[in-house]
């Protein structure tokens, strides 16, 4: 029986602190994929001197965990990840150094020390803003009313294992037309609860068009405004980085 090899040298230093980071994805960087961001983040962590903790083994990698990233092509003000470090650090200093090292369009919003519990468990819903150019608010309101009047609206999307049909109506907890400075566009703001499979903004648009005559001339500009804990009694989203 072949002997199991072990890496040479001492094991990596253990993590002593975990940080939770909120960042924004803006401008052209909304088209960056999760893999693109991961590469940019690891380079920025090295440049900024953050004392990252690494996994053991022949191919050590930084201890970073990502949580519920927005779809490629979507801007966001509320993306999150966690990092483990081998020294006690000042979260605000890490925020400044990391923000300076990241490319323009990926902006650190805040860094805090992680509290007990999984970050993913605190991401229960997202607030979205969809801007439809070439559409009047009245047109969008009529289509939205038709959608909200339905109990279920099924849509289909291609997944890794093939097409899947699911309800895009029930996860929409709140939706309405927001004021727009430009009269040639209409803005939809909505809160969508996180489900399995995840209902994305484009799924909701597909559902709206399925139950109405709504036919926007182009895809909307989508921005995630917030994500966090869902409070059904007040229909609001709580800060996932705040204490309980």
Q: pLDDT per residue over 153-187, tens digit each?
A: 999 998 888 899 999 999 999 999 999 888 889 99
Greater confidence (114 vs 57) lies with 114
17-121 and 123-238 share one fold: yes
- Unique residue bearing structure tokens 């893999």: 35
**Across 117-142, average pLDDT:** 95
Mean pLDDT in residue range 2-7: 55
Give the pLDDT band (50/70/90) at residue 64: very high
Contacts of 197 (CB under 8 A, 6+ apart): 157, 159, 164, 166
Q: Residue 6: its pLDDT value, please?
A: 55
Domain ranges of the chain: 17-121, 123-238
The share of the chain scoring above pLDDT 70, in percent, equals 95
Q: What is the mean pLDDT of the chain?
A: 92
What CATH number does domain 17-121 carry, 3.90.550.10, 3.40.50.2300, 3.30.70.580, 3.90.870.40?
3.30.70.580
CATH fold, domain 123-238, is Alpha-Beta Plaits (3.30.70)
Average pLDDT over residues 113-129: 94
Q: Where are the alpha helices (DSSP H) in the chain?
A: 34-48, 91-101, 137-148, 201-210
**What pTM was computed for the model?**
0.91
Mean pLDDT, to the nearest integer, of 146-156? 97
Q: How many residues are given for the chain?
A: 244
Q: What's residue 1's pLDDT?
A: 45
Token pair of 87, please?
Answer: 């020294």
Which of left, alpha, beta for 78 (phi over 0: left; psi -120 to 50: alpha)? beta
Exposed, middle or buried by CB within 10 Å (0-12, 13-18, 19+), for 179? exposed
**pLDDT tens-digit profile of 184-218?**
899 999 999 999 999 999 999 999 999 999 999 99
pLDDT of residue 218: 95
């Amino acid at each position: 029986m072949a002997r199991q090899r072990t890496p040479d040298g001492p094991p990596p230093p253990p993590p002593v602190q975990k940080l939770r980071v909120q960042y924004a994805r803006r401008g052209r960087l909304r088209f960056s994929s999760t893999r693109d961001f991961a590469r940019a983040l690891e380079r920025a962590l090295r440049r900024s001197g953050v004392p990252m903790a690494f996994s053991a083994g022949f191919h050590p990698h930084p201890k970073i965990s990502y949580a519920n990233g927005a779809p490629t092509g979507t801007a966001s003000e509320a993306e999150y990840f966690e990092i483990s470090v081998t020294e006690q650090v000042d979260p605000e200093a890490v925020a400044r150094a990391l923000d300076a090292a990241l490319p323009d369009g990926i902006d650190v919003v805040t860094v805090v020390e992680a509290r007990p519990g999984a970050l993913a468990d605190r991401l229960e819903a997202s607030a979205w803003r969809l801007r439809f150019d070439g559409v009047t608010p009245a047109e969008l309101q009529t289509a939205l009313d038709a959608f909200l009047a339905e109990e279920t609206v099924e849509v289909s999307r291609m997944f890794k294992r093939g097409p899947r049909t699911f309800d895009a109506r029930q996860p929409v907890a709140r939706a309405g037309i927001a004021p727009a400075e430009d009269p040639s566009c209409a803005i939809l703001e909505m809160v969508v609860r996180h489900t399995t499979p995840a209902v994305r903004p484009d799924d909701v648009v597909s559902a709206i068009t399925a139950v109405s005559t709504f036919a926007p001339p182009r895809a909307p500009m989508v921005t995630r405004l917030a994500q966090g804990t869902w409070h059904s009694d007040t229909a609001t989203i709580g800060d996932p980085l705040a204490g309980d």
